[in-house]
Amino acid sequence: MLSSRVRLVTTTARLVHSLIYSSSRSFMDLKALLSSLNDFASLSFAESWDNVGLLVEPSPPHTVNTLFLTNDLTEEVMEEALQKKADLILSYHPPIFRPMKRITWKTWKERLVIRALENRVGIYSPHTAYDAAPQGVNNWLAKGLGVCTSRPIHPSKAPDYPTEGTHRVEFSVTHTQDLDKVISALKEIAGVSVTSFSARTDDEEQTRLSLNCTQQALMQVVAFLSQNRQFYQKTEILSLEKPLLLYTGMGRLCTLDESVSLETMIERIKSHLKLSHVRLALGIGKTLESPVKVVALCAGSGSSVLQGTDADLYLTGEMSHHDVLDAASQGISVILCEHSNTERGFLSDLRDMLDAHLENKINIILSETDRDPLHVI
């Protein structure tokens, strides 16, 4: 009888703890959650060819209690997400990439959209925005190398600087009485912002105009100036380059504090990625005992990012046969781990970071069925 009571008390205590934990979590409005996700890693970091952000949206209002993380959204993973009552699926890879002309039950990606909408589940994909982010996928992959310093191979440019235009045109207005006429004509050109300031040239006070303009507007500005030479003098045309972001961008070039043998590096990578096997191409003249000091890495498919980078070792998920031959011919060894094996482990770190970023307001869970489609047998 006493044993039965002890079991009852223990079970009740667990139930109460579970209820208290669940009640401590609240809902987030979808739009508020999307804003917070963008604050965590801006979608502006993504490559221009990518399809990132909210891909499937249930009719508003839509609240999120459970955020479900996966590397790839397959039909099996979708079934798991529905069973776990997900309100929003964060799929690292975008399940919708190429345009869809119809939504039918014929293809698996169309079926994902149908099931998501039928069950009021949103789908969000960050993909290359998380590749580039300072705390993103490539940063996580670099953690497996050992103590090192790293920088992006291809740094991102600041998205919001300068605030307007790709070019700046500056010139002095020849006669003050023409100033309003010139400004009025230039403001009629779409994509142009105009400011004026005083400047002293050759001991003469002059009014100069500064125009920020888009590439397309630049051609119209030049055409206007060419047709109205009497209005201006001392013209300068500047290309406005956005500043590079030091810790944001594609790939990572990692310099180890201490060199290790290639064999040791292989074991570190296998341990970090929880893999029993990786694929290795030895660089010409290299052995397993060759020292590794500099590693160039790119999660996923790294050929375009790694190409031309000087390093002892390339680490990525996949590369074409000929790109591997190219690297090896330059004495660079290559480790391939299969595409998503270089990405999926990041999701555990992501869960913890998002828990903190979102202040534990919602439940965040990892897929248990998501896996790389390729297996070594």
- 197 three-class SS: strand
Query: Any known ligand binding at 339?
Result: yes
Query: Any known ligand binding at 17?
Result: no
Residue 349 CB neighbours (<10 A)? 15
Which residues lie closer than 8 Å to 158 by C-beta, 6 or more apart?
Answer: 242, 243, 244, 245
Calpha distance 350→341 (Å, rounded): 15
Calpha distance 217→189 (Å, rounded): 7
Which residues lie closer than 8 Å to 332 by C-beta, 6 or more apart?
Answer: 283, 311, 312, 313, 314
Query: Any known ligand binding at 343?
Result: yes
Calpha distance 234→186 (Å, rounded): 17
- 123 three-class SS: strand
Calpha distance 135→354 (Å, rounded): 11
Given a contact cutoff of 8 angstroms between Cβ atoms, the answer to whether 112 and 78 are in contact is yes
- 126 three-class SS: coil
Given a contact cutoff of 8 angstroms between Cβ atoms, the answer to whether 41 and 130 are in contact is yes
In the chain, the amino acid numbered 195 is T
* Spatial CA neighbour of 278 closest among 293, 263, 260, 258: 263
Token pair listed for 25:
């979590």
Query: Any known ligand binding at 164?
Result: no
Place of tokens 């230039």: 186
Calpha distance 18→177 (Å, rounded): 78
Query: Whats the size of the chain, residue-wise?
Result: 377
Given a contact cutoff of 8 angstroms between Cβ atoms, the answer to whether 211 and 235 are in contact is no
Given a contact cutoff of 8 angstroms between Cβ atoms, the answer to whether 209 and 186 are in contact is yes
DSSP track, 188-238: TSTTEEEEEEEEEETTEEEEEEEEEE-HHHHHHHHHHHHH-GGGEEEEEEE
Binding residues for a divalent metal cation: 93, 131, 339, 343
Q: Which residues are annotated as a binding site?
A: 93, 131, 339, 343
